[in-house]
Amino acid sequence: MKFIRNIVEKAKVPFEKGGKLEKYHHLFETIDTLLFVPDETAKLKGVQVRDAVDLKRFMMTVIIALVPALLFGMYNVGYQYYQAVGLEPASAWDLWWVGIQRVVPIIIITYVFGLFVTEFAFSVIRKHPINEGFLVSGILIPMVMPPTIPLWQVAFASIFAVVIAKEAFGGTGMNVLNVALVARAFLYFAYPSDISGDQVWVYLGDQMAVDGFSGATPLALAASTLETGQNVVQTFAASTHDYSFANLFYGFVPGSIGETSVLMILIGAAILVFTGVGSWKIIVSVFGGAYAMALLLSAVGANQYMMMPPEYHLVIGGLAFGAVFMATDPVTASQTETGKWIYGALIGILTIIIRVLNPAYPEGIMLAILFMNVFAPLVDYYVVAANKKRRLKRATV
């Protein structure tokens, strides 16, 4: 490591102030800080809180928490492929290999256009350092995409998300909206036929006569009961896919790359909560708000979709993934402890309302989180105001 450190130190000279490559200083600094812990310390006077968890370690913890869902997503892409073509894989590796072929290019494109093209360009133009924020966004964006999303659309979405949702607000830590969800929302409204919740595309391989297998998602099937009047659970049972509650929980169903397995997502949630990176209050309140709203609508029972068992809402679509990895984004979520409960509960409630009462947008979690991202500061404002009022009242008694 000392040998590598010496090479980096020598290579740093042209990028220092006054050097020939000074304008690319922040690009070199980014590579340097990824390889080694910065040797700089805060120069502010006065009392400071020192913590071993810097931004880099914070982001790496999130990536580690995403690994179970990502690996399962790759496996499931291959599983759905062999299910669609009616073949038996020779080994588990065959399933992984199909998934790797589809998922890895999406991740590469996201980083190339989101980080190396867009973020690096802003770093040079604005002369500000590149933070580690996109390390997480670069994984989250592919995980909320279907496996056969065109790569050029991923490139456009990554650029759009970085420019509009991040750099327009000042960069990492300043964004109002979740970057990965903005990328998904961009494609959802710009190219709905390739990403909408009404259909799912499963990779079949270039050697096949067709490029994909289309089948209704659980959310689309549930919404279809508004017209058919059939029981939702029975509709799931009659589907060509196994949409039993257990299968929905384990994740062996078609869907976006990282969103199908609730089990893997909960493992990631445990990592986030144990390390203190993710707020358990937000996670619990999202699930609680969704379940309570689904229970209320089930009691109303105006149609079969409303009467779907509330627990099914927790395992279909991207609700679990959104609750664990999107709603807990520390930049866009509420900051106050009471506000986290309110923020999460409203996301869960809005998700079910959008799903059931406006089935034109079957995946309500995306819109619910983006909506609450905007109102999170307002929630915190009123929580703080209420705390001040309560303290003043006690002080005057």
Dihedrals φ, ψ of 201, to 5°?
-110, 130
Dihedrals φ, ψ of 89, to 5°?
-70, 145
> What residues have CB less than 8 Å from 344, skipping those under 6 apart?
281, 282, 283, 284, 285, 286, 288, 289, 323, 327
DSSP annotation of 18: T
Q: Are residues 65 and 15 in the same domain?
A: no
3 state DSSP class of 213: strand
- Asked whether residue 46 is domain-assigned, the answer is no
- Asked whether residue 187 is domain-assigned, the answer is yes
What is the pLDDT, as a whole number, of residue 7? 66
Half-sphere exposure of 12 (CA within 13 A, CB side): 13
- Asked whether residue 110 is domain-assigned, the answer is yes
- Asked whether residue 136 is domain-assigned, the answer is yes
What is the pLDDT, as a whole number, of residue 111? 93
- Asked whether residue 390 is domain-assigned, the answer is no
pLDDT tens over the chain, length 397 residues = 566 656 656 666 565 666 655 555 555 565 555 555 555 555 555 555 555 556 667 788 999 999 999 999 999 999 888 887 778 887 888 999 999 999 999 999 999 998 888 887 877 776 666 666 778 989 999 999 988 889 999 999 999 999 998 888 877 778 899 999 999 999 988 888 777 644 444 544 444 433 444 456 777 778 778 778 888 888 888 777 788 899 999 999 888 899 999 999 999 999 999 999 999 999 999 999 999 999 999 998 888 888 899 999 999 989 999 999 999 998 999 999 999 999 999 999 999 999 888 877 777 899 999 999 999 999 999 999 999 998 888 877 6
Q: Are residues 31 and 108 in the same domain?
A: no
What is the pLDDT, as a whole number, of residue 358? 82
- Asked whether residue 319 is domain-assigned, the answer is yes
Half-sphere exposure of 394 (CA within 13 A, CB side): 6
What is the pLDDT, as a whole number, of residue 313? 92
CB 104 within 8 A of CB 203: no
Q: Are residues 348 and 278 in the same domain?
A: yes
What is the pLDDT, as a whole number, of residue 201? 47
- Asked whether residue 393 is domain-assigned, the answer is no
CB 126 within 8 A of CB 174: no
CA–CA separation, 279 and 286 (whole Å): 11
Q: Is 73 exposed, middle or buried (0-12, 13-18, 19+ CB in 10 A)?
A: buried
Q: Are residues 96 and 201 in the same domain?
A: yes
Range of the domain at 6: 2-35
What is the pLDDT, as a whole number, of residue 211? 41
Q: Are residues 368 and 278 in the same domain?
A: yes
What is the pLDDT, as a whole number, of residue 184? 93
Q: Is 127 left (phi over 0), alpha (psi -120 to 50) or beta?
A: left
Q: Are residues 143 and 243 in the same domain?
A: yes
Name the domain count of the chain: 2
CA–CA separation, 294 and 298 (whole Å): 6
What is the pLDDT, as a whole number, of residue 357? 87
| pTM of structure | 0.84
- Asked whether residue 41 is domain-assigned, the answer is no
CB 272 within 8 A of CB 61: yes
3 state DSSP class of 214: strand
The DSSP string of 257-308 is: TTTS-HHHHHHHHHHHHHHTSS-HHHHHHHHHHHHHHHHHHHHH-SSTTTTS
